[in-house]
Copies of this chain bind each other. A is one copy, B any other.
């Protein structure tokens, strides 16, 4: 804001502005925003006007539309006989800008005319400052207005209706990351200002208010009693799924942005804070210490997933609106180009329906292990693992087959004719067995009951658990290594997938199964695995021409797979980058443990961003680029996807698009964000590789009830 100064003082002021270019703060800001230091700055010298010359003078600030809601109409404040500082300082209470129409109708009319003209000129909502000096209006400054996500969407859509901008421009106007704010519940901080108990990694956005449960089982029973539950644990594992399902949010003492809790939370669209500092759980006593305070099971906590802060008690919660007509229209435009392929990671029919509802172009990752943990299956899975002979193992697997088949049928029915990528069993087998501690307890109680037969069984399980225990399970006996050492598992899963596809096809639909092999490191593995899958398929098709078109692909999630992607790709028709694991192995950062030093790295500026949230272009990205180049060379018709958590991160999506990836896949909760980011980045072009028949089906609405957003 201009101040009256003498000429010599003015020179000092001009110099001060020039000097400010080299201030520490400005230098830091430029570094952060990749602005060159050599660009320089300018100084505008202008005549001063005075709003404090009496009651026919005054000053005001305003927006051409409401920056919180996006509602049209000028919105702002005016203070008579005042300078700009008086509004900012808050000593006097300003009036609403609209009241100016009574006090100085002609000034008000002129102001409206001018700012409307400015908005039309800049084609964006303006944030303006003005002064009235003795009845004459002066505009001091105008700039694009900062706004809420809600306003950002509404304004973009309204401006299309007002023919101010095109649909393409509207799509580019909204920051995809900001949608999180619209799409999830938020803590209502205006109600009270509370100090946080602790903070952790904001692993999944939104907010949750509920009572503490220390285990998945307790979460389930407390949920059954009608409680909103927050599951508070050291970390979660795959067998906590039922408890996570029963909870409104998760808080863990360990883990990072792609720890189990974080990934599941984003998949479920629930709030999650991981690796929160200073949490000490004493599950035996049933207490948790958070900082200096101690809580019991059943005590209330409030989680702010957006910032990672944890609050004591039951804070007010503003639920997410289900209804976003403007956003739906914006995304319709984003998806309309037929070049925007965003798939969803979905493990269950419910996930798949949510994905379809949000316009997913297929399922990019279905994790079959989640099906293994269901209560009716775990006993068969354990029998399979504890089998002493291949025959025993096959017998257990045959019991699992119809169950898996039913899951896949439901997925295919929901998604047909869109592709469903099913990943073969990935986690190390010990994850399906009880922990050593659990076994020890069960053994003790069996001994005190003198139930010797049960003791012997438990001893057998304990031996197996010990045998399967690994020092570094993430680099252990998992992924395709399971298929190559226990081929019966692959054989069962491939048959379940293809039998399901046959059944659904017989119902008149057109399923597109894509079988994806995890953790491949070498061409030789891929060659052998492809043969095994075809052999299992031949069993299903009884030697006849395959009645269902299935594709075989692999994840690229090991550095070696990226280096050798060319030769590996010769055996498959698609590859999908598992960027979580690829980041983990490339950096040597264990996803489950890294929080501690990653936080320190981020604080020290050694890392600019968490590489588990936004892809590391220099390292991981370089490997991806190498891989894509050699794959396109050796296998030009191949389809290339990304199914790691980065598939839902706007900055990463833009980078993947620049690498020439065909599609990204993300959790259903992030689908809208990813679609918008993908459209802004120029879109992904998976569509061209769909068989013509399937494209037709999609265009005519086909066999599947497509939602209004789905505009392919």
Residues of B within 8 A of A393 (CB): none
**Does A587 lie within 8 Å of B606, measured CB to CB?**
no
- Which listed residue (B524, B560, B597, B620) contacts A477, Cβ 8 A? B597
- Which of chain A's residues 512-559 have a Cβ closer than 8 Å to chain B? 519, 521-522, 524-525, 528, 558-559
Residues of B within 8 A of A597 (CB): 477, 481, 484-485
- The digit string for A115-128, where 1 denotes a CB below 8 A from any CB of B, is 00000000000000
Q: What's the Cα separation between A165 and B454 when bound, in Å? A: 74
Residues of B within 8 A of A616 (CB): 560
**Does B471 lie within 8 Å of A559, measured CB to CB?**
no
**Does B587 lie within 8 Å of A484, measured CB to CB?**
no
Instruction: Decide yes or no whether A460 CB sits under 8 A from chain B.
Output: no
With A470-B593, A525-B606: A587-B560 Cβ-Cβ less than 8 Å: yes
Instruction: Please give me the residue from chain B that is nearest to A428 by CB atom.
Output: B593
Instruction: Decide yes or no whether A691 CB sits under 8 A from chain B.
Output: no
Residues of B within 8 A of A519 (CB): 588
**Does B472 lie within 8 Å of A564, measured CB to CB?**
no
Instruction: Decide yes or no whether A21 CB sits under 8 A from chain B.
Output: no
**Does A587 lie within 8 Å of B521, measured CB to CB?**
yes
- Which of chain A's residues 557-601 have a Cβ closer than 8 Å to chain B? 558-560, 563-564, 581, 584-590, 592-594, 596-597, 600-601
Interface size class of A (residues with CB under 8 A): 35 or more
**Does A473 lie within 8 Å of B471, measured CB to CB?**
yes
Residues of B within 8 A of A26 (CB): none
**Does B481 lie within 8 Å of A590, measured CB to CB?**
no
Instruction: Decide yes or no whether A434 CB sits under 8 A from chain B.
Output: no
Residues of B within 8 A of A619 (CB): 521-522, 559-560, 563-564
How many copies the complex holds: the figure is 2
**Does A586 lie within 8 Å of B600, measured CB to CB?**
no
**Does A475 lie within 8 Å of B525, measured CB to CB?**
no
Q: What's the Cα separation between A32 and B485 when bound, in Å? A: 24
Residues of B within 8 A of A604 (CB): 484, 528
**Does A477 lie within 8 Å of B525, measured CB to CB?**
no
Residues of B within 8 A of A370 (CB): none
**Does B472 lie within 8 Å of A474, measured CB to CB?**
yes
Instruction: Decide yes or no whether A16 CB sits under 8 A from chain B.
Output: no
Instruction: Decide yes or no whether A705 CB sits under 8 A from chain B.
Output: no
With A477-B597, A559-B623, A585-B585: A472-B618 Cβ-Cβ less than 8 Å: no
Instruction: Decide yes or no whether A476 CB sits under 8 A from chain B.
Output: yes
Instruction: Please give me the residue from chain B that is nearest to A601 by CB atom.
Output: B484
Residues of B within 8 A of A590 (CB): 470-476
**Does B588 lie within 8 Å of A484, measured CB to CB?**
no
Residues of B within 8 A of A484 (CB): 597, 600-601, 604, 606
Residues of B within 8 A of A559 (CB): 559, 585-586, 588, 619, 623
Residues of B within 8 A of A524 (CB): 605-607
**Does B588 lie within 8 Å of A620, measured CB to CB?**
no
Residues of B within 8 A of A600 (CB): 484-485
Instruction: Decide yes or no whether A622 CB sits under 8 A from chain B.
Output: yes
Instruction: Decide yes or no whether A196 CB sits under 8 A from chain B.
Output: no
Instruction: Decide yes or no whether A280 CB sits under 8 A from chain B.
Output: yes
**Does A475 lie within 8 Å of B474, measured CB to CB?**
yes
* A contacts, CB < 8 Å to B: 235, 280, 463, 470-477, 481, 484-485, 519, 521-522, 524-525, 528, 558-560, 563-564, 581, 584-590, 592-594, 596-597, 600-601, 604-607, 616, 618-620, 622-623
Rank and list the top 3 A-B pairs by shortest CB-CB distance, nearest first.
A559-B559, A472-B590, A475-B590
